[in-house]
Amino acid sequence: MPLYRRLQEGGRIELSVTPYYHPILPLLLDSESAREAMPDVRLPRARIQLPEDCDEQVRSAVAAYTAAFGRPPAGMWPSEGSLSDAVARRLPGHGLRWAASDEEVLAHSTLESGGPDLRSAYLVGDGRTGGADLALIFRHKRLSDLIGFSYMHWDPKEAARDFVEQVRRAADPPLPPGDPPPLVPVMPTLDASTSCRVSR
Summarize pLDDT for 39-57 with one digit per residue, the tens. Answer: 899 999 999 999 999 999 9
pLDDT recorded at residue 111: 54
143 neighbors 170 (Cβ within 8 angstroms): yes
Summarize pLDDT for 138-187 with one digit per residue, the tens. Answer: 888 889 899 889 999 999 999 999 999 988 888 777 777 887 777 888 88
Identify the CA nearest to 81 among candidates 110, 104, 114.
104
What is the pTM assigned to this prediction? 0.78
37 neighbors 62 (Cβ within 8 angstroms): no
Summarize pLDDT for 124-133 with one digit per residue, the tens. Answer: 554 444 446 8
Q: How far apart are CA 168 and CA 200, in angstroms?
A: 9
105 neighbors 78 (Cβ within 8 angstroms): no
pLDDT recorded at residue 181: 75
Please state whether 131 falls in left (phi above 0), alpha (psi between -120 and 50) or beta.
left
Checking if the pLDDT of 7 tops 70, the result is yes
pLDDT recorded at residue 200: 40
pLDDT recorded at residue 133: 83
The beta strands (E) that lie in 53-200 are given as 75-76, 98-102, 122-124, 134-139, 183-186, 194-197
Identify the CA nearest to 77 among candidates 61, 54, 89, 64.
61
Summarize pLDDT for 97-117 with one digit per residue, the tens. Answer: 999 998 888 777 755 444 445
